Amino acid sequence: MRPPEVLETDRLRLRVPTLEDAPEIFLQYAQDPEVTKYLTWRPHQSIETALEFTRHQTEEWQNQEGAVFPWVITLKDDDCLLGMIRLHLEGHRADLGYVLARRHWNRGFATEAVRLLVDWSLAQTDIFRVWAVCDAENAASARVLEKAGMTREGLLRRWLVLPNLGDAPRDHWCYAKVKVGSLLVAEGLDRVEPGSTVGGIDPEDRADQAGEPE
């Protein structure tokens, strides 16, 4: 299964990254220690690092057997680069992550992009669960995931090392949204429209390791 190379909302366009995006990725967010605070990688120190990262993202799409699909988040009107979001497909599950430039926080962009990928994923017949994690102290990203329709399932103790916050693994909240009517879909008895059950920057739209522009 391969997702579309372009996905859109009223305000946003998610598109495949190109090498020409590297300077904007560096300038907009990759070198910003505040943006990368809760991410799994350190701020980029040079445009060369951003270029290598961007090259890796483009190669993910070129891999015909790949399962990781990154998009740059842009404004639909002018292609202004806001950040990045990625989806990892694994069997009946999909997990996502995102990052957003600081100057675009407090406008709901992260929630909008996350909701777009959640909705697309659960509209696929074979995907029954979409999930993401955020650091237990990153309340802003937790709210993004909640506003995108995901439900907090529990605390993952010592889940990830965030190098900007130390060398020890940190606790993370796990959020997910699952498909309603999974038995009907699995048994082929009917075509059930996907939905969710209860159990990516408003101030919420901050970056977290749910966005991985390593």
Q: Could you tell me the domains of the chain? A: 6-187 (3.40.630.30)
Q: Where are the beta strands (DSSP E) in the chain?
A: 6-8, 12-15, 68-75, 81-90, 93-100, 129-135, 151-161, 169-178
pLDDT of residue 1: 87
> Could you write out the DSSP letters of every residue in 67-120?
-EEEEEEEETTT--EEEEEEEEEETTEEEEEEEE-GGGTTSSHHHHHHHHHHHH
pLDDT of residue 102: 97
pTM: 0.85
pLDDT of residue 209: 52
* CA 132 to the chain's CA centroid: 8
pLDDT of residue 147: 97
Of 95, 88, 39, whose CA–CA distance to 60 is shortest?
Answer: 88
What distances in angstroms separate CA 209 from CA 44, 90, 142, 168, 200, one per listed residue? 15, 18, 11, 15, 8
Angle between helix 109-122 and 139-147 (nearest 10): 50
pLDDT in tens, 158-179: 999 999 999 999 999 999 999 9
Please identify every stretch of the chain with a pLDDT value under 50, giving residue numbers as ranges: 182-208, 211-214
